[in-house]
Structure 1
Amino acid sequence: MFLSKLLEPVKATAQQAGERLWQMYLSGDVQTEIKADSSPVTSADHAANQIIIEQLTELTPDIPVISEESHLVPLTQRQHWPRYWLIDPMDGTQEFVARSGDFAVSIALVEHGWPALGVIYWPKEQIWYYATRGRGAFKQQRNLINHIQVRQHKQGDPLRIAVSRRQPQHLISALLAPTQQAEFIALGSCSLKSCLVAEGGADCYMRLGPTGEWDTGAVHIIVEEAGGRILDSQFFPLSYNQRETLANPDFMVIGQSSVAWPDLIQPHPTPRQITD
């Protein structure tokens, strides 16, 4: 009941932040800076961040918030939190800057080290993806709501792989088994590609390169409730709030669980190490 009561207010918060992002996107009145990790951050990120934190603090004053765009609380303090909000006020800032429109708001509630509620809002299409633990995953466009599930992949069929517009496809092709054929679907933000797997539009999505736990928190519960999984490059589950930094390893979003994925996707020969 606790998660069910939170869902609609969180969806409304994601929409409000998304509408602010879209207004700023259309106006073009945005300042862009480069962070220490060489990724961009804009005044739109900060505006959405403020909306989300204010709304969540009012909704659940006793639940702390971790955001990509806020100061990170030390692990010694946050490792004792039984639950916390994990947010990315704009997943896909590079898409915002590049004017593709493929950016989204991401809000997750993590309980006892695992995502329990997730909401993604895509302002351009006015679409929500959302899930709560044990209750399935859903896609909503305006008032039309559909239950979503991962695609049933047939043995021998090409893999439908969601990829970034900005990552060379040969890097992904190199991770496939030598005889595995693939079809590539280019899309923007990390969360939208993950949701594409959740709704059956792609079989998998492989992410190479830096991401944070805020990039996967909300989509993790959505993908799992849709029948898929998110695993690291060695086919182990991701973890949350276990390190001083919140950096993710390379990971993959995979659909139908009965597929022998290790036969189709080769583990990285030298996994990228996470350092605190």
Structure 2
Amino acid sequence: MLQLTKTAIEAALAGAAEIMDVYDNHDFQVQTKDDNSPLTIADVRAHNIIKSHLEKTGIPILSEEGAKIPYDERKGWSRFWLVDPLDGTKEFIKRNGEFTVNVALIENGTPVLGVVYAPVLQQIYFGNLEDGAFRAQHISPAETPDSILSRTEKLPVTQERTTLNVVASKSHLNEETKNYIAQLEQSSDRPVKTVSIGSSLKLCLVALGEADIYPRFGPTMEWDTGAGHAVVKAAGKKVMQVDADEELVYNKENLLNPFFVVK
């Protein structure tokens, strides 16, 4: 599992290098996809380079920018890479830095390895179910996996605070989420504090321990959550479906996730 983790880190760093070249030097060339979500040249460049790294493992790849693989073909996959080459394209376009590269390994519907890299913030979160979850900071895309592994902190980091921290999306704070937070305010013995951040960094805040709960009552796709879910699981926490007593599952025929709560 360690070698596959290194491969995933290497792929994420390579994808981030392509993204940062566009971020710093080029027109984003924003297009609109069929679901009205934005697509930039950075998404495409990152997808291509990540794919080239992961293909060396011989494990199938399902990426947001290459997702039109028929279910009849992928339903037989017991193990595959799940990739979002640029999670938080809206944040990328806004230039607020809160976007990530997500690489996950899924086995039998469960995330077992994940890498979430935020190149502008220079933070990387990664983990697997054998070794646990980790964070490293001040990480540039030019780093090597070995240099990153030599200076990590294990997650979750102990957090002592007087508030119950709830992480919520900057772009998707809808009525269901507001109602959920209101219920927490009534039931919690601590004051509730809302923390906002973009992309899959929301899951990572729970894995880290800076947030206690992340409720998501809005649409997400499997590639949005797979890597962060793996980090959360490796940190000893869960991503539970709202209407079912089980965690999110992957490689469904419909790749849309149900609503979920991370804690």
TM interval, shorter chain, is: 0.7 to 0.9
Compute the displacement of 1:173 (Å).
2.8
User: What residue number does 1:53 align with?
Assistant: 51
Whether 1:90 and 2:90 are equivalent positions in the alignment is no
Match of 1:182 among 192, 195, 198: 192
Whether 1:251 and 2:247 are equivalent positions in the alignment is no
Whether 1:105 and 2:101 are equivalent positions in the alignment is yes
Counterpart amino acid of 2:46? A
User: What residue number does 1:242 align with?
Assistant: 252
Report the TM-score when normalising by structure 1.
0.83
User: What residue number does 1:266 align with?
Assistant: none
Question: Structure 2: where are the runs of 5+ without partners?
Answer: 140-147
Q: How does 1:79-158 map to 2 (within 5 A)?
A: 79-141=75-137, 142=139, 143=148, 144-149=151-156, 158=163
Compute the displacement of 1:54 (Å).
1.0
3-state DSSP of counterpart to 1:174: helix
Compute the displacement of 1:30 (Å).
1.2
User: What residue number does 2:230 align with?
Assistant: 221
Deviations 1:39-89 (Å, cap 9, x if unpaired)? 1111110010001011111x21x3110011114222122111121110000
Judging changes above 3 Å, is the alpha-carbon distance between structure 1 residues 74 and 25 closer, same or farther for their aligned structure 2 residues?
same
The question of whether the paired residues in 1 share the 8 Å contact of 2:159 and 2:210 is answered with: no
Please provide the CA RMSD for this pair.
Answer: 1.9
Q: Report % sequence identity.
A: 38
Judging changes above 3 Å, is the alpha-carbon distance between structure 1 residues 152 and 125 closer, same or farther for their aligned structure 2 residues?
closer
The question of whether the paired residues in 2 share the 8 Å contact of 1:86 and 1:217 is answered with: yes
3-state DSSP of counterpart to 2:195: strand
User: What residue number does 2:143 align with?
Assistant: none
Deviations 1:90-115 (Å, cap 9, x if unpaired)? 01001001111100000011112211
Whether 1:196 and 2:205 are equivalent positions in the alignment is yes
**d(CA) in 1 for partners of 2:6 and 2:108?**
22
Deviations 1:220-242 (Å, cap 9, x if unpaired)? 12101112100122253111113
The question of whether the paired residues in 1 share the 8 Å contact of 2:172 and 2:218 is answered with: no
The question of whether the paired residues in 1 share the 8 Å contact of 2:88 and 2:100 is answered with: yes
Higher helix share: 2
**d(CA) in 1 for partners of 2:26 and 2:167?**
28
Compute the displacement of 1:170 (Å).
5.7
Counterpart amino acid of 1:167? H
**How many pairs are equivalent?**
246
**d(CA) in 2 for partners of 1:151 and 1:248?**
30
Counterpart amino acid of 1:91? D
The question of whether the paired residues in 2 share the 8 Å contact of 1:150 and 1:226 is answered with: no
The question of whether the paired residues in 1 share the 8 Å contact of 2:98 and 2:121 is answered with: no
Counterpart amino acid of 1:164? S
